[in-house]
Structure 1
């Protein structure tokens, strides 16, 4: 067959039409990327995500109206494997290969920071959570005068965790001697930082802090830390460690005859599975509480109360509720709200819609701009909880101090271990 000029022009036009049709079809599907630790030592932070995403698929089944046009919604979940390098890689895949319009991420600085950095670099809007705002902002070399252009964050800060921990400690008679467990990671370096972290405010409240220095996650021997705490007569232990390290420390402390009155740890004591794994060592431990079924908030997307959301999770998974459920759900609430308000799916338009958010969510009000400590940070409430022997479940988390967020009801008072 000889290809004359007319046939060639027709063929080229047909190809161009097919390409345009294919682009139009692609434009009719909006992709939201989600990155969290599904595997590795931080996996408990991502345990509820698949359930939340199934719930979101139902919520988005009829699509969203964006700029007057109906668009199908597809959610692409990626596993950071609890590894910062991997988190950055999968974020780049979402941006460059999947062409997502918006990225959501949660689950400690080791996931949220590299994902946020990839989005900032590629000018793709990103909403993150489940990292205190200081390790997220300053850990990414944020400039308070400028903030970030494409990355927005919702969670509480170190000032809130310090207030809650010390509010609890004040209610128990101790010698005010505190031992710190701060690992060599994003959270540990922020919590142990002399200016931004625990040392300065504790000293101001009359507490003395024994900080034996940074250690690597996965440490098998805490003898040096325990010896330092015993030497200084420590009665309160605090810090921010991963669950396996908490188990190692608590087991070795018991073996070596170190019995503090209060143990309040961030990160490690958030999940019922981790507490159950500790057996009797788990009872009486205290931790920060970011979300519970008794929080007085409801979803803007499904209209479920915090209680109804937790009950739906337990019915659907046959597992006990965990704190990240609320924040995974809230990230999608904010995403849906911003996408409904955006003028188009252009990255800058989506970013502007995110920045203009003013929404009551299942974790509390979310608003960026004037109210937060930085223009890219919206703070959520924080209270203190204590693990007790359960009636319905093996262990239950009871809110024991709400001075920092009085709208969240308490269920009891802090008791020494």
Structure 2
């Protein structure tokens, strides 16, 4: 009996992690951190243990092409052709929900990140409180962004009106939402918001928004614009004799503008603007990988050494994505069963390189929260560097610089 039990417990079976990543298209720069992490962790992901049983583990990556339809097809191929037991994805305000919805329809566990949780819920036709069966997410909320931004506004003397430069799409509509957007948080802190008017991406001009900025005497601006659109707005404001003392911007401006566009005039404009943003991960975060103890500084250094490029905030989240998938497969009652994996995700509390992820305490089902700090892009001879300038809501993250109004 002992010999038989040993043979059964050490027998190797196959598990597959499917990944939908933007390898091509407009989101491709944001797919690089995920593909890097998968390559760096490949030696550790060849095998996995669940209790006394050993499994061979394979990683299959399919390209979303930065398009929702292609992303849905990628999920279908991963589930039907590659027999994926769990699907991972990140990046894209339209692409990420498409992946999650496809997984929900095909009844396969999905784990995603880099998207405010309210947007994750609303983009899928649901409201907070709704419980998805198969799809799980970790990130922050729009309220958390509003708080991080307000703490930086409050470092500017006086109580200026904040001009809101928000688009006419999902992102803008949620930021304007009277219950889930910026207003409830910022009004409670005493800030007045002035909507500068919706615009369509990519923008041709911001004359209307600049005029409203003057009308409301707004010398702080908050936005979720692309690098190109924010640079255009800043240039037109300057030409009109206006210069925001501070711009806070989420979404694309959480990454160095040098990564999202190659246009030198955009680089120069945004360097002059000294954009402030949310910080969800950096080399200075004091966390370690649950897989091998790698520190945030180690991960960032390795990325820069191996790619020749500056680290990006999604790098830490990509690593945590893989850590969490590995944990779920290692702890599920039956890692070959989709329902068991989904149940494992729902009960996960895990310390990762991005911080502790706890799906039992989320603000709504299927969500684990990440804490935010506030940062500002400071220009330098080697390009923009992100300084952490506020840490009130994440005090274990060290301050690395001071806020510099223009």
Match of 1:86 in 2: 70
What residue ranges of structure 1 are gaps of 5+ in the alignment? 1-26
Residue 383 (structure 1) aligned with residue 367 (structure 2): no
Normalized against structure 1, the TM-score is what?
Answer: 0.88
Give the SS at the match of 2:89. Answer: strand
Q: Deviations over 1:311-368 (max 9, x none)?
A: 1111111111110000000000001111111232111111112122121000000111
Match of 2:340 in 1: 349
Q: Is the 8 A contact 1:42 1:242 kept in 2?
A: no
Match of 2:4 in 1: none
How far apart, CA to CA, are the structure 1 residues paired with 2:159 and 2:333?
Answer: 59
Query: In structure 2, which of residues 376, 399, 402 is the aligned counterpart of residue 410 of structure 1?
Result: 399
Counterparts of 1:10-409 in structure 2, within 5 Å, are 28-61=13-46, 63-66=47-50, 68-272=52-256, 273-274=258-259, 277-279=266-268, 281-283=270-272, 284-344=274-334, 345-369=336-360, 371-390=361-380, 393-409=382-398
How far apart, CA to CA, are the structure 1 residues paired with 2:206 and 2:158?
Answer: 23
Moved more, 107-116 or 324-333: 107-116
- 1:254 deviates by 2.7
Greater Cα radius of gyration, structure 1 or 2: 1
How far apart, CA to CA, are the structure 1 residues paired with 2:337 and 2:395?
Answer: 41
- 1:96 deviates by 2.6
Cα RMSD (Å): 2.0
Query: Residues 195 and 143 from structure 1, CA distance in 2 versus in 1: closer, same or farther, beyond 3 angstroms?
Result: closer
Q: Is the 8 A contact 1:176 1:206 kept in 2?
A: no
Match of 2:3 in 1: none
Q: Is the 8 A contact 1:246 1:268 kept in 2?
A: no
Q: Is the 8 A contact 2:15 2:55 kept in 1?
A: yes
Give the SS at the match of 1:247. Answer: helix
Q: Is the 8 A contact 1:133 1:153 kept in 2?
A: yes
Q: Deviations over 1:262-319 (max 9, x none)?
A: 1001112122225875225324210111100000100011211111111111111111
Query: Residues 246 and 36 from structure 1, CA distance in 2 versus in 1: closer, same or farther, beyond 3 angstroms?
Result: farther
- 1:167 deviates by 0.5
- 1:245 deviates by 1.9
What residue ranges of structure 2 are gaps of 5+ in the alignment? 1-11
Query: Residues 279 and 89 from structure 1, CA distance in 2 versus in 1: closer, same or farther, beyond 3 angstroms?
Result: same
Match of 1:5 in 2: none
How far apart, CA to CA, are the structure 2 residues paired with 1:342 and 1:45?
Answer: 30
Moved more, 98-107 or 139-148: 139-148
Number of residue-to-residue matches in the alignment: 388
Give the SS at the match of 1:82. Answer: coil
How far apart, CA to CA, are the structure 1 residues paired with 2:357 and 2:43?
Answer: 23
Query: Residues 390 and 366 from structure 1, CA distance in 2 versus in 1: closer, same or farther, beyond 3 angstroms?
Result: same
Match of 2:7 in 1: none
Give the SS at the match of 2:249. Answer: strand
Moved more, 75-84 or 149-158: 75-84
Give the SS at the match of 1:30. Answer: strand
Q: Is the 8 A contact 2:33 2:314 kept in 1?
A: yes
How far apart, CA to CA, are the structure 2 residues paired with 1:188 and 1:234?
Answer: 19
